[in-house]
Amino acid sequence: MEKHWEFFLAPYKQAVEELKVKLKGMRAQFEMQGVHSPIEFVTGRVKPIASILDKAQKKNIPLDQLEQQMQDIAGLRMMCQFVDDIKTVVQLLRQRNDFTIVEERDYITQKKESGYRSYHVVIRYPVQMIYGEKNILVEIQIRTLAMNFWATIEHSLNYKYSGNFPEDIKLRLQRAAEAAYLLDEEMSKIRFEIQEAQAVFSRKQELKESE
């Protein structure tokens, strides 16, 4: 990797690693208390250089403005079992004092034309570098497992068709997005049954492990 990119991306890499630990730590705290965790799992990545350049070109972002204008060079994803968990997670993020929220985008009540649903929170995160503090933008995407399944599939198809989906695939993807949303709604309706079963299961696991 070119030295210039290595220096530029260093604070983003640092931020993703730190935030993965912090957000996974939230899940661990719920587990420790033996209560339902609104966070199922957390992933994080630094956007590959080729994707940064692609997006900069598409959105007319000058390369010397990446830091100010590209919000998802560092990205975290928090997956939830239920739609209501998303609200809980956003509340938890709003309460934290290790970063500030600069923007929230609700693509759940206002889904994208593609069918995409997720809640995006853009934060300003201070990274301690050897030359001092650097404040960078990080995008946290919060979504259910079903929304994540859809987005992952659509993203790989997007790659294949470079965004120009044939009409029938576009339509099927929109229908699949609705099906995923229906799945979320159905799961929400039996949420308490599911949680009860999960609690019994984890108690049994604990007993087995202590034997």
Positions in the binding site for ligand 0O2 (CB under 6 A): 47, 51, 55, 72, 75, 105, 112, 114, 116, 120, 151, 154-155
Please give the Cα distance from 36 to 30 (Å, whole number). 7
> Could you tell me the smallest distance in angstroms from the CB atom of residue 82 to ligand 0O2?
21
Catalytic residue (choose from 6, 103, 139, 186): 139
Is residue 129 within 8 A of residue 10, CB to CB? The reply is yes
> Could you tell me the smallest distance in angstroms from the CB atom of residue 124 to ligand 0O2?
16
> Could you tell me the smallest distance in angstroms from the CB atom of residue 27 to ligand 0O2?
21
For ligand 0O2, the closer of residues 83 and 151 by Cβ is 151
For ligand 0O2, the closer of residues 127 and 173 by Cβ is 173
Please give the Cα distance from 203 to 208 (Å, whole number). 9
185 is catalytic: no
For ligand 0O2, the closer of residues 72 and 85 by Cβ is 72
Q: Counting Cβ atoms within 10 Å, is residue 142 exposed (0-12), middle (13-18) or buried (19+)?
A: buried
Question: CB under 8 Å to 183, separation ≥6 — which residues?
Answer: 146
Is residue 99 within 8 A of residue 125, CB to CB? The reply is yes
State whether residue 128 is helix, strand or coil: strand
What is the helix (H) or strand (E) element at residue 27, kind and residue range? helix 3-32
> Could you tell me the smallest distance in angstroms from the CB atom of residue 30 to ligand 0O2?
26
For ligand 0O2, the closer of residues 36 and 47 by Cβ is 47
Give catalytic residue positions.
Answer: 139
